[in-house]
Structure 1
């Protein structure tokens, strides 16, 4: 388990399926992530997350004092395969309150301190301005932009200090 001042982060479990489905079926959450997913697609994605390899980490994020489900943060191989990518999805109720930044920074620190990573990357659509700003506030720098998944993507990175 990982903890921030306001969040607890536990390894994703089958008991988290119902909460995770809230992310995959929320139009606001999925706006820059390929849209709302269908039930069978959600089940397949969640099953895959349970059977992860040694270089895949998925944490559900909950508010520390209420145990309310907030979202997911992951660290797993990027599409390009060279580095691990940090990703996150939070329910809209928790947006703009600093929770995602806390969780992202904690996972970055985990990657550097526990996994001895030399670099962590993140990919988001350039149109997702809030996500770009979050990554920058977490200390990541824009490395490049490219077209992928039918949209312009921003690749951010951070190295240990």
Structure 2
């Protein structure tokens, strides 16, 4: 996708509340990072989440994403390799 005039990979996931807390999001994000670095290394990865979504913010931070307040919009932004 193009965002801020750059081609990026947007890391997005959604799980049913019945499976929250099982580390599935962390596992998906770690796998997405590995695949992106192997197959699409020229594209930065971006996590865009609502400010109130503390769980998604923790997943991004634990997965190595850097908080990017300079890129914030209605979402809180984290990136890898921006």
The bucket for the TM-score relative to the shorter chain is 0.7 to 0.9
Task: Structure 1 unaligned segments of length 5 or more: list them.
Answer: 1-76
- Superposed CA RMSD: 1.7
Q: Is residue 14 of structure 2 the alignment partner of residue 89 of structure 1?
A: yes
Q: Report the counterpart of residue 137 of structure 1 in structure 2.
A: 62
The structure with the greater share of residues assigned to strand is 1
Structure 1 residues 135, 97: closer, same or farther in 2, change over 3 A?
same
Pick the structure with greater CA Rg: 1
Q: TM-score, normalised by structure 2?
A: 0.82
What aligned pairs does 1:67-82 form with structure 2 within 5 A after superposition?
77=1, 79-82=3-6
Task: Structure 2 unaligned segments of length 5 or more: list them.
Answer: none
What aligned pairs does 1:50-61 form with structure 2 within 5 A after superposition?
none
| Cα distance in 1 for residues equivalent to 2:50 and 2:2 | 15
Q: TM-score, normalised by structure 1?
A: 0.45
Which one is further off, 109-118 or 124-133? 109-118
| Cα distance in 2 for residues equivalent to 1:154 and 1:78 | 17
- Structure 1 residue runs of 4 or more that deviate by more than 6 Å after TM superposition: none
Q: Report the counterpart of residue 157 of structure 1 in structure 2.
A: 79
The structure with the greater share of residues assigned to helix is 2
Structure 1 residues 78, 133: closer, same or farther in 2, change over 3 A?
farther
**Which whole-Å deviations, capped at 9, do the CAs of 1:29-82 have from their partners, x for residues lacking one?**
xxxxxxxxxxxxxxxxxxxxxxxxxxxxxxxxxxxxxxxxxxxxxxxx154351
Bigger relative contact order, structure 1 or 2 (CA pairs below 8 A, ≥6 apart): 2
